[in-house]
Amino acid sequence: MSTEPLLIRQARILLPSGEFFKGDVLVRNGKIVEVASEIINGDSLTIIDATGLTLLPGVIDPQVHFREPGLEHKEDLFTASCACAKGGVTSFLEMPNTIPLTTTQSALDDKLQRAQNKSLVNYGFFMGATPENLPDLIEAKPTCGIKIFMGSAHGALLVSKEEDLDPIFARGSRLIAVHAEDQARILERRRQFAGITDPAIHSQIQDEQAALNATQLALKLSKKYQRRLHILHLSTGIEADLLREDKPSWVTAEVTPQHLLLNTEAYASLGTLAQMNPPLRSPENNQVLWQALLDGVIDFIATDHAPHTLEEKAKGYPHTPSGMPGVETSLPLMLTQAVAGQCTVAQVSTWMSTAVARAYKIPNKGLIAPGYDADLVLVDLDTYCPVIREDLKTKCGWSPFEGWNLTGWPVITLVGGQIVYERGKLYPQVRGKALTFDE
Ligand code: DOR
């Protein structure tokens, strides 16, 4: 698709230094070609008047479950990418627990083809580890990395035993991202608490110790082979404390907005909508995770967008699936925190874009500078609007944050220099591109 040159005029621009300045950004052939404090000549260009708006690099969400193929009743790559565009998410890294599982090159190719046909934003896919697919894990491409479910999974994608994990860490060099929960402990505690239907028990069954045990094992194996490790959705203060004491330079970790902003008190109002893996924790954990993020112990933010229908969520615990949607609320949630003084807007942008591009070695993304891809989001930091169910683009049609009054909502989102979302309107003909990952 051709991309018209365009000029973003008089935005408050976040520079790579973390400072803001008011100026113009010229975009041509999908790239940022000029960032200037003086007025750039805009004759014959499409002009976006960005007066009063803040320009940030588009969000790169490094953990989403978009359900296609096989689970399209929950979400698909079109609806999910519409939600991304509305939320200022211009690239995503998607997880392998679809049907079929993304455990082979052909399954990966199929997802890439589907995304090319349907996704409004840029896309990358994880390869899922099984105890048997080591050659695929080493060879398949392009992929952002290997996903290992050490717990909270069933069937082929569960790799919980050290003897099955060890060879995956030993062979190959690409990034390994772990869902760190101790499956044996979870199963034992499930038996112990059998019969309890209050969803709050979920946080006790899949408790903090279960998360810590698995994170410790992943760290041990990563150190044994000096293997690049990423710990997905860190949920507990004890894991953060562990990393604070001993985090090798080749290890990164992420946290979700819900583990920062929601806690076990949410079960009272949300019931099973608050059920996710790893589970929500106590309010004290929120504080420790925030501090770890502010101190750089946790490197970046992912939503773990994991939509399930309201019918599925109404089945009654423990028959309800775990997971909640997130891509269209994550940026305003975090920017609202920044405006409230919890962190800075520049930090939010680092955690949601710059640091993700760096960790996954995605070239030319995550900064506003000449030569970088024009994946951009213009946000309004002055207006507050609540999260409203009727506005949501995710197919599952609900959010755990409904009613939250947020600022920093995207006004315009650009993918590869094309407007994909503008003031409530989507441009569904725009297509993102396959992300590339440097070796
Ligand atoms: O709560 C979750 N749901 N956590 C995961 O890691 C998987 C996800 C899903 O796919 O539903």
What's the pLDDT score for residue 1? Answer: 47
- Could you tell me the distance, in angstroms and rounded to a whole number, from the CA of residue 63 to the centre of ligand 1? 10
- Could you tell me the distance, in angstroms and rounded to a whole number, from the CA of residue 17 to the centre of ligand 1? 35
The per-residue pLDDT of the chain, averaged, comes to 97
What's the pLDDT score for residue 42? Answer: 80
pLDDT tens digits along 216-251: 999 999 999 999 999 999 999 999 999 999 999 999
Task: List, chain by chain if needed, residues with CB within 6 Å of any ligand 1 atom.
Answer: 65, 97, 152, 179, 276-277, 304, 306, 321-323
- The C-alpha angle with vertex 77 and arms to 72 and 81, in degrees rounded to 5, equals 135
Q: Is residue 375 annotated as a catalytic residue, yes or no?
A: no
- Report how far Cα 133 is from the mean position of its chain's Cα atoms: 25
The CATH architecture one would assign to domain 58-360 is Alpha-Beta Barrel (3.20)
**What string of DSSP letters covers 134-195?**
HHHHHH--S-S-EEEESSS--GGGB--SHHHHHHHHHS--S-EEEE---HHHHHHHHHHTTT
Looking from the CA of residue 95, the nearest atom of ligand 1 is: 10
**What string of DSSP letters covers 273-341?**
GG--SSPP--HHHHHHHHHHHHTTSS-EE---B----HHHHTS-TTSSPP-B--TTTHHHHHHHHHHTT
- Could you tell me the distance, in angstroms and rounded to a whole number, from the CA of residue 306 to the centre of ligand 1? 5
Domain 58-360 in the same topology as domain 6-55+369-426: no
Q: Among 256, 303, 322, 395, which residue has the most ligand 1 atoms within 8 Å of its CB, making it the best to mutate?
A: 322
Q: What residue segments make up the domains of the chain, in order of their start?
A: 6-55+369-426, 58-360
DSSP state of 352: I
**pTM flag (> 0.95):** yes
Q: Among 276, 280, 309, 315, which residue has the most ligand 1 atoms within 8 Å of its CB, making it the best to mutate?
A: 276
pLDDT tens digits along 61-93: 999 999 999 999 999 999 999 999 999 999 999
What's the pLDDT score for residue 43? Answer: 80
- Could you tell me the distance, in angstroms and rounded to a whole number, from the CA of residue 275 to the centre of ligand 1? 10
What's the pLDDT score for residue 230? Answer: 98
Does the domain at residues 6-55+369-426 carry the CATH identifier 3.60.21.10?
Answer: no
Which residues of the chain are modeled with pLDDT < 70?
1-2
Kindly give, in sequence order, each residue whose CB lies less than 8 Å from that of residue 179, ignoring residues fewer than 6 positions away.
147, 148, 149, 150, 151, 152, 153, 232, 233, 277, 278
Residue 164: both structure tokens together: 């099955």
Looking from the CA of residue 179, the nearest atom of ligand 1 is: 6
Catalytic position from the list 61, 182, 207, 304: 304
What's the pLDDT score for residue 41? Answer: 87
